[in-house]
Amino acid sequence: MEYVIPRYKEILKNFFIILFFYMYLFQPPVINKSIYIVVELLILFTYVFFVDKKIIGIFIRKFKVEIFILYIIICYSIVRDILAGSEVYSFRFFAWAFQSFIFGFFIIYVIDKFNNRRENQLQIISLLYWTCFIASIFTLVLLTNKSFDTYYQTIQLDDFDQYADMAFRYRAYGISENLTFTYSYVMGFFAGYTLLVIRKNIFLIFPFLLFVLAIMFNARIGIVALLLFFIIILVQKKFSNIIITVVLALIVLAAVAIKYSDLTAMMVSNKEWALHFFYDISDSIFGTHYATTSEMDQLTNSFIIFPDTFFHWVFGNGESLFLKTGGGNSDIGYIIQLNYGGLLFLIQILVMMMFLSYRLCKTLTWRNWFVSIFICSIFILNFKGFIFAATPGGRILFFLYVFYIYMYPNKKLDAA
C-alpha cells in the first residue's frame, strides 16, 4: 500500500503544473464553462495531430469497456434529449466523460511519458493535494477579506442572489464551480488523505485545517469524505495518526484563537450549520431529535419522486427534476436519472458504477486506500446529488480512477 507524502517544496517547484491542475479541476466560474472544454479539446487535438498519435490507440486498448459503456450512456442521453426537444443532460454527460476520462488520460499519459521513475509518476497525487491546498487558501481569503469577496462576486458567473438577503452568509466561499456540493467533497477527500500521511509530515496539519475550514463554509458533504478516511484509519489501527492530528490541530487552533479572534468567532458562528450534519445522522440512526429539520428526511421523503406512467418508468420523461420549479423537484442523483431516462438509463449508470468498482478492485485489491474511497464516494455522491457531471468531485474521482488503472496494469484484466 503506497502513500505519497506531499512536500511543501513541490508548490514552488511545480507551480505552473499546479496552476494547470487548478484550472482543470476547479474551473473558476469567471468565464463560461464551455470555454474550458473548448480549450482542452484544442490542447488534446494539437497534441494528437502534431506530437503523438499513438495516444488514441493506447487509450482505446486500456479502457475499451469503459469507452463502450460511456458511448452507450452518451448516445442514449442524446436520443432522449432529441425526443424531449431540448438539451437536458447529454452535454453534461459528454463534458464529464471527456474531462474525467479522455482529457484526464491525456494529462496522465503526458506525465508518464516524461517521468520514467515510479516515484515521479506517483507525484501526481501530491500535485493534486497542493492544488486543493491553494483552493482552500482562496476560501480563507474570501472569508477574511470582505473587499476581495465582494469583488469576486462581481466577476464570477454563479448565482449568489440566494445569499443576498441573509444576515449571515454561511456557504459558497471559494474560487471554484460547484461550491455547495463536490468542491467540499474534494476538500474532505484531501483532509482525509492528510490523516493517512500526517505522521510522515506533521506540518501538513496546516492544509488539513484549511481543508476542514473549506468544508465548514461550503457544504457538509465534505464531512462524509473525511469520515470514510477516518474509518480506514480505524480499520488499519493507525490510532496514532488521529492522536497526532488532534493534538496538532488543538495547538494551531489555540494559537489562531489568541492571534486572530475575529476568524475564531466566524468559525464558531458557523458551527451549528456544520454540526447539523451529525444531528441528521444521529436522528436517523438512533432516533434522537437534535435537528429541528432533518436533511435526511427531506432526501428520503420529499425528494423521492417516481415516474407516473409505465412508459416513463422504462424510458423516462426527458426532464430534469433538479431544474424543475413549482414543486416535484429532487436532487437525488438516482431519482433524477430514473425520471430523466427511465430504468434503461439508470441500469446503464449502475452497470458503469459496478464495472468501475470491479476493475479498480481487481487492479489494486481491497488493501489500497483508494479502492474503498472511490467505491463509497461514487455511490454516496450520486445519492446526494449528480456525480456524473463535469464538477470538481466528478473530475477528481474518475481522474484518479484512470490514473490508477493506467499506472497499475492488471494483465489478466486487460486481456479479458
Could you tell me the pLDDT band of residue 408, with boundaries at 50, 70 and 90?
confident
**How many Å apart are CA 79 and CA 72, to the nearest integer?**
11
- The grid coordinates listed for 245 are 492530528
Across the range 338-362, mean pLDDT stands at 95
Percent residues over pLDDT 90 in the chain: 59
Q: Is the pLDDT of residue 206 over 80?
A: yes
SS3 90: helix
Nearest to 387 by CA among 347, 344, 355, 350: 350
Which domain covers residue 384, as residue numbers? 9-269+303-415
Name which residue leads in pLDDT, 159 or 298.
159
Whether 288 is in a domain gets the answer: no
- The answer to the question of residue 289 being in a domain is no
Top-confidence residue, 191 or 413: 191
Q: Is the pLDDT of residue 236 over 90?
A: no
In a domain, 45, yes or no: yes
Cell 484509519 found at? 233
pLDDT at 357: 96
Angle among Cα 230, 394, 301 to the nearest 5 degrees reads 75
Q: What mean pLDDT is predicted for residues 353-362? A: 95
Q: What confidence score (pLDDT) does residue 69 get? A: 96
pLDDT at 290 over 60: no
Give domain status of residue 14, yes or no.
yes
Number of independent structural domains in the chain? 1
Indicate the pTM of the whole model. 0.88
- Does the pLDDT of residue 416 top 50, yes or no? no
Examine the pLDDT at 266 and tell me if it is beyond 80: no
Give per-residue pLDDT as tens, 70-128.
999 999 999 999 998 888 889 989 999 999 999 999 999 998 887 765 555 568 899 99
- Checking if the pLDDT of 53 tops 80, the result is yes
**Which amino acid appears at position 361 of this protein?**
C
Decide: 180 and 218 in contact? Cβ < 8 Å.
yes
Residue 393: inside a domain: yes
In a domain, 248, yes or no: yes
The pLDDT score that the predictor gives to residue 412 is: 37
Determine the Cα–Cα distance for residues 295 and 284; give it in Å rounded to an integer: 10
Distances (CA, A) of 378 to 148, 179, 341, 365: 34, 18, 19, 18
Q: Could you give the CA distance from residue 345 to residue 334 in angstroms, rounded to a whole number?
A: 10
